[in-house]
Structure 1
Amino acid sequence: MTIQDRLQTRVKRSKRSVFLRSDFADIADYDQVGRGLRSLVQEGLLLKIGYGLYVRARVNRITGQLMPDNPAGNDGVLIEAMERLGVDYKLDDLSLKSLSGESTQIPANVKIIPKSSRFTRKIAVGKQRVNEVR
Structure 2
Amino acid sequence: MEMPAPAKPYGACIDAGSISRKNTASAPYFCKEAFMAKMSIQERIERTLNNSTAKVFVRKEFDKFGSYDQVGRVLRSMMAKGLLVKAGYGIYVKAKKSSVTGNNVPAIPLEQIGREALSKLGVKTDAGDAAKAYRDGRTTQMPMSAALNVGNSRVTRKIGFGGKTIRYER
Q: Per the shorter chain, which TM-score range?
A: 0.7 to 0.9
The whole-number CA distance in structure 2 between the counterparts of 1:96 and 1:50 is 25
Is the counterpart of residue 61 in structure 1 residue 99 in structure 2? yes
Is the counterpart of residue 102 in structure 1 residue 102 in structure 2? no
State the identity as a percent: 37
Contact 1:89–1:114 (CA under 8 A) maintained in structure 2: yes
Is the counterpart of residue 112 in structure 1 residue 156 in structure 2? no
For structure 1, the residue ranges without an aligned partner over 5 or more in a row are none
Which one-letter code corresponds to 1:105 in the other structure?
Q
Which one-letter code corresponds to 1:106 in the other structure?
M
Aligned partner (choices 119, 142, 145) of residue 83 of structure 1:
119
Higher strand share: 1
Is the counterpart of residue 32 in structure 1 residue 70 in structure 2? yes
- CA shift for structure 1 position 100: 1.6
For structure 2, the residue ranges without an aligned partner over 5 or more in a row are 1-38
Contact 1:113–1:130 (CA under 8 A) maintained in structure 2: no
With 19-28 and 117-126 compared, the bigger mean Cα shift is at 117-126
Larger radius of gyration, structure 1 or 2? Answer: 2
With 40-49 and 116-125 compared, the bigger mean Cα shift is at 116-125
The whole-number CA distance in structure 2 between the counterparts of 1:53 and 1:111 is 18
Provide Cα deviations, 1:74-102, integer angstroms capped at 9, x if missing partner.
Answer: 22112211222111334332211011222
Provide Cα deviations, 1:20-58, integer angstroms capped at 9, x if missing partner.
Answer: 111112222222111111111122111111111111111
Correspondence for 2:60: 22
With 96-105 and 117-126 compared, the bigger mean Cα shift is at 117-126
The whole-number CA distance in structure 1 between the counterparts of 2:55 and 2:148 is 18
What SS class does the counterpart of residue 139 from structure 2 fall into?
Answer: coil
Contact 1:58–1:66 (CA under 8 A) maintained in structure 2: yes
Bigger relative contact order (CA 8 A; separation at least 6): 1
Aligned residues: 130
The whole-number CA distance in structure 2 between the counterparts of 1:20 and 1:7 is 13
